[in-house]
Amino acid sequence: MHDATLAREFTGMIHPHLPRLHHLGLKLTRDSAEAEELVQETLTRAWTHWSRFDASGNLGAWLARIAFNTFISGQRHAKVVQRTAARPDVPGLLHDRGRMDAAAAPETAWIQHELSDEVQAALDQLPLHYRRVVELVDLRGVPYREAAAHLEVPVGTVMSRLHRARGLLRLQLEGFAREFGFGGPALAAA
């Protein structure tokens, strides 16, 4: 497909999701300018990885996952830089190009793994039958009916497993979520 045609397809498909993406950015950053930057970075990453998106999947969920992981990566990067800059025993550390690349490793990890270490660890701890449903529905955006067919279980079983898996993930990630300003009633409603 020609690049211009692909760009038009991308723009047309993401356009309906921009208000929700901007709302998510505001919720995460609590600042309009930062939210706009997050949305732009999300769209840049989505475009970069557009070939990885399954057209039958949930584009909104895919974009939201990219936005959330981009936000987490940015927070980690800021903490690394902040801690490093505060270390008096390492003068000139931030001017060393090799070490700056190492400080950017969380962003590189996102590109390679797409999920933060904490989220991946929580997902890995789920029983296999729960993890497979989360991977299909939440991570790949597969509709319930297709996930049920793939797993050879009724749609109700997919929904039930997904509900239970999300509850387990919520419990496992509660501390991690609070570290980034989520928690209390907002976390319970998520």
What residue spans define the domains of the chain?
A: 115-190
Average pLDDT over residues 162-190: 72
Average pLDDT over residues 97-122: 53
pTM value is 0.46
Within 8 A by CB and 6+ apart from 32, the residues are 26
Q: How far is CA 157 from CA 34, 108, 149, in A?
A: 40, 36, 11
Whole-number Å distance between alpha carbons of 120 and 175: 15
Statement: residue 137 has pLDDT above 80:
yes
More confident residue, 38 or 107: 38
pLDDT category, 183, cuts 50, 70, 90? low
pLDDT category, 1, cuts 50, 70, 90? low
For domain 115-190, give its CATH number from 3.30.700.30, 3.40.190.10, 3.20.20.100, 1.10.10.10. 1.10.10.10
Minimum mean pLDDT range among 52-56, 74-78, 184-188: 184-188
Statement: residue 144 has pLDDT above 70:
yes
